[in-house]
């Protein structure tokens, strides 16, 4: 059983044209010491699923069903006060652009100490030592001196390390990393991912990695969920995901992945994912699917289990030796 379970999460937005559903029965879990990757094209619902865990949603968003269970309690039913205690302290967010989380007017030390005082209740020298320890853990050299620096004096990679240090200083049990390396150059990307992997194994932290980068997933994740148009269409342990992908959308994503060992020509997925305003009957991938059948245009495919912890929401899996959920 995971430390966090998202169960049948349904969410929509109130738009000018009325209510539009954005997430359909999204379910996944996070386990201590494991990384779960949520992948898919932009706008497929990855970030809004992750933000639901922290209940950090736009005013126009409404959760219409489901549960998010953290250590036996439903986050969706928590009071504002309990949510405040959860955010940052138990579940921390590592954003795409660290500048959105760091205040340019305060030093790194001020911001780190504030977090430590609020969430750990430490003061004075104890808080200072904890701040130095956190910066050292994320391998920022000369940590004591660096506490006096302002965010603009840090490089992109260093800022991202400082954000991770804030999460570590609070002993967060879950890290939500939303495209954590997109704003960084390639060598720094590898360093940040290696840092996250070390944290995961050393502190048994559960990590939710939101990404469209399958290479990053292949190198780091333990489990993968593929999202398309607000639904999870395939979920599998990472090795099975890459060795035995089932869903046509997953196959298309993998074929569009640049990889030096791949001999096949790089392919693109024709068409665009639907916007939230576009209603598509049946399987939402059917307008782009090369294997579309008549049934796909009218009926939403259920989930078919094709292995242990591995499902695909595609009618092509119907006749496999598998169970239907």
Tokens of 30: 């996070």
The residue written with tokens 């001196």 in the block is 145
Q: Which is nearer to ligand SF4, 99 or 292 (CB)?
A: 292
- How far apart are CB 12 and ligand SF4 at their closest, in Å? 22
Site string for ligand SF4, 48-67 (x = CB under 6 A): --------------------
Binding-site residue total for ligand SF4 (CB under 6 A)?
A: 13
- How far apart are CB 274 and ligand SF4 at their closest, in Å? 13
Q: Which is nearer to ligand SF4, 187 or 321 (CB)?
A: 321
CA distance 278 to 77: 31
* Interaction residues for ligand SF4, span 282-301 (CB under 6 A): 283, 285-286, 289, 291-293, 296, 301
Q: Which is nearer to ligand SF4, 230 or 248 (CB)?
A: 248
Q: Which is nearer to ligand SF4, 92 or 254 (CB)?
A: 254
- How far apart are CB 286 and ligand SF4 at their closest, in Å? 4
- How far apart are CB 265 and ligand SF4 at their closest, in Å? 22
Q: How far is CA 314 from CA 21, 59, 123, 211, 285, in A?
A: 21, 34, 55, 23, 10
- How far apart are CB 40 and ligand SF4 at their closest, in Å? 14
* Interaction residues for ligand SF4, span 304-323 (CB under 6 A): 314-316
Strand 223-228 and strand 35-39: the pairing is parallel
Are residues 222 and 264 in contact, defined by beta-carbon separation less than 8 angstroms? Answer: no
- How far apart are CB 317 and ligand SF4 at their closest, in Å? 8
- Angle (CA) 167-117-188 rounded to 5° is 25
Q: Which is nearer to ligand SF4, 40 or 301 (CB)?
A: 301
Element containing residue 165 per DSSP (H, E):
helix 156-169
Q: Which is nearer to ligand SF4, 53 or 314 (CB)?
A: 314
Point out which residues pair with 207 in neighbouring strands: 35, 175
- How far apart are CB 248 and ligand SF4 at their closest, in Å? 4
Q: Which is nearer to ligand SF4, 13 or 304 (CB)?
A: 304
Within 16-56, strands assigned E span 18-30, 35-39
Are residues 289 and 249 in contact, defined by beta-carbon separation less than 8 angstroms? Answer: yes
Q: Which is nearer to ligand SF4, 157 or 301 (CB)?
A: 301
Backbone angles phi, psi at 37, to 5 degrees: -100, 135
Burial class (CB in 10 A: 0-12, 13-18, 19+), 184: buried
- Compute the half-sphere exposure of residue 210: CA atoms within 13 Å on the CB side of its CA: 22
Q: What is the dihedral of CA 203, 200, 309, 284, to 10 degrees?
A: 130
- How far apart are CB 259 and ligand SF4 at their closest, in Å? 23
Distance from chain centroid for Cα 83:
19
* Interaction residues for ligand SF4, span 222-281 (CB under 6 A): 248
Binding residues for ligand SF4, per CB under 6 A? 248, 283, 285-286, 289, 291-293, 296, 301, 314-316
């Amino acid at each position: 059983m995971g430390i966090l379970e998202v169960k049948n999460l349904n969410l929509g937005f109130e738009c000018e044209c009325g209510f539009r559903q954005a997430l359909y029965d999204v379910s996944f879990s996070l386990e201590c010491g494991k990384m779960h990757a949520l992948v898919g094209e932009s706008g497929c619902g990855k970030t809004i699923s992750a933000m639901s865990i922290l209940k950090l949603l736009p005013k126009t968003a409404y959760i219409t069903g489901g549960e998010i269970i953290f250590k036996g309690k439903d986050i969706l039913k928590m009071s504002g006060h309990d949510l405040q205690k959860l955010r940052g302290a138990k579940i921390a967010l590592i954003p795409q652009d660290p500048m959105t989380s760091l205040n340019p007017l305060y030093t790194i030390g001020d911001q780190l100490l504030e977090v430590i005082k609020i969430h750990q209740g430490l003061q004075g020298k104890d808080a200072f030592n904890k701040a130095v320890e956190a910066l050292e853990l994320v391998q920022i050299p000369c940590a004591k001196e660096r506490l006096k620096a302002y965010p603009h004096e840090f490089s992109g990679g260093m800022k991202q390390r400082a954000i991770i240090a804030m999460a570590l200083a609070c002993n967060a049990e879950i890290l939500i990393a939303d495209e954590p390396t997109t704003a960084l150059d390639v060598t720094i990307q590898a360093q940040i991912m290696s840092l996250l992997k070390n944290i995961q194994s050393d502190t048994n932290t559960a990590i939710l990695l939101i990404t469209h980068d399958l290479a990053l997933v292949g190198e780091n994740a333990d489990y993968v969920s593929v999202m398309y148009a607000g639904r999870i269409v395939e979920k599998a342990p990472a090795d099975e995901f890459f060795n035995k992908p089932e869903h046509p959308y997953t196959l298309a994503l993998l074929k569009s992945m640049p990889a030096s060992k791949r001999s096949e020509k790089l392919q693109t997925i024709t068409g665009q994912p639907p916007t939230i305003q576009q209603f598509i009957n049946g399987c939402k991938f059917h307008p782009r699917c090369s294997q579309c059948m008549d049934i796909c245009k009218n009926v939403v495919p259920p989930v078919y289990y094709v292995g242990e912890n591995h499902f695909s929401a595609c009618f092509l899996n119907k006749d496999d030796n598998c169970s239907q959920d």
